Structure 1
């Protein structure tokens, strides 16, 4: 005879977020990048090239952080940066 709730516990242990992560990586991230590109083109079209350059530096840093987070290599990148400082 099984315990009440044992089946629910078994199903809860198999839950992952891999499907949601994949959906975000395949759908949301490209939409964000498209939005950023449209905004930069709009600002550049007004003739504010210095504004585009300022925003591009911040975007590059943000995209690097996004790439590290999405790839799952955060601990290795952190260890590499720590080794640069401590030797």
Structure 2
């Protein structure tokens, strides 16, 4: 799936947003993108914790405490967005 491939391309220590993933794959279905991110069965291989909302951390299947922990572990600050 294009969404998961886009997420796999986010480098360690960087983040992006659901909107930027949508722009990259030419889709404005941001809710569908969010759903695809939430259905990620391989969190180790597809680092969906690196995908943020435009104004917030967004959700995370394993909880926001884990998402925040992983982002801090990678030193992935919101101003390091890519895509």
TM-score range, shorter chain: under 0.3
- The two structures have a TM-score, normalised by structure 2, of 0.24
Larger Rg: 1
- The two structures have a TM-score, normalised by structure 1, of 0.23
- Which of 1 and 2 has higher RCO (CA within 8 Å, sep 6+)? 2
